[in-house]
Copies of this chain bind each other. A is one copy, B any other.
């Protein structure tokens, strides 16, 4: 069932500090050029003093402005991120503070499916808007990956960057083509431990941290296993996704993939049969920004005029879980 919702505006914020791959080559004691070649990332951004909620609020202000709205037109704030600023309260609340929305009582909550959090958030919100629960929802994905990187895992640590993106979603008028046409998420738990941070939750609390178990608190990825499992299931996933709609995968004007890695995106693009022009690729200048990658790429796609109202768009990606998720929409 399609939902008459519309992306009203998007915003993006990148931390001031740019980190070139050559800087990481030096840090890791590798030959100049190794990190960029391996990751497809020329540079990414790391926060210095910025917090997730500050970055999220900056992206949000831009999204609201581009939607031609005032901040007081928003009636719900959702943080759709794989990381969180504090364990308590939820990050959406902290973003609301940064937006100076102290004197309103609009609700805040968080949705988390790691790298797919934005896709899950957008899909979920579309049902709430369709049912008139909310009119205009602000979805913010703000990620600080840098403190969780494991510098002993050189193939994964070079991939990630920090930053935020935000999207305002609202109702699509009867005479507008904009809608979410279909969506699908599948979780394959045989891959649950391929991508994880084991320490910092209730199974190994932050207060158990010490020098000896340092790596337990850092990002751990078996990239090959993730890639193998994703490749195995993507065909069936696409079939099931497009069975729901009256058009073919090849009719999609633009694909906004999760910016997992340069290599993963190239293989995924070829497997799905899209041209480079149709497949948003911002990894060279952003890195993998966890859940913010998809809304960042969506923002750039719109700003660069590569998608017009009424054209089909697919957001698609993988996340820890291992999950595959996609939303098909008419922009």
Contacts and interface: CB of A to CB of B under 8 A. Distances in A.
Contact of A196 (B86, B206, B217, B320): B86
Contacts of A185: 107, 109
A88 B197 contact: yes
Nearest to A240: B105
Given A109-B112, A190-B102, A321-B108, A206 B217 contact: yes
A205 interface: yes
Report, as a range, how many residues of chain A touch the other chain: 35 or more
B199 A206 contact: yes
A1 B321 contact: no
Nearest to A128: B127
Contacts of A89: 114, 192, 195-196, 319-321
A131 interface: yes
A243 to B, nearest CB: 15
Nearest to A120: B109
B90 A321 contact: yes
Contacts of A109: 111-113, 116-117, 120, 185
Contact of A187 (B96, B112, B189, B202): B96
Nearest to A98: B189
Nearest to A207: B217
Nearest to A107: B185
A85 interface: yes
A199 to B, nearest CB: 6
A203 B107 contact: no
A114 B93 CA distance: 11
A219 interface: yes
Interface string A58-93: 000000000000000000010000111111111111
Interface in A104-130: 105-114, 116-117, 120, 124, 127-128, 130
| Most-contacted residue by chain B among A93, A111, A130, A186 (CB, 10 A) | A93
A235 interface: no
Given A112-B112, A113-B109, A192 B51 contact: no
B202 A85 contact: yes
A44 to B, nearest CB: 16
A94 interface: yes
B207 A97 contact: no
Given A87-B83, A192-B93, A187 B106 contact: yes
Contacts of A110: 110-113
B197 A86 contact: yes
Given A320-B90, A320-B93, A108 B200 contact: no
Interface of A: 1, 3, 51-52, 77, 82-94, 96-97, 101-102, 105-114, 116-117, 120, 124, 127-128, 130-133, 144, 147-148, 185-190, 192, 195-207, 209, 214, 217-219, 233, 319-321, 323, 325
15 contacts: A82-B88, A83-B202, A87-B199, A89-B192, A90-B320, A108-B187, A108-B323, A109-B117, A109-B120, A111-B111, A124-B124, A124-B128, A127-B127, A205-B217, A206-B217
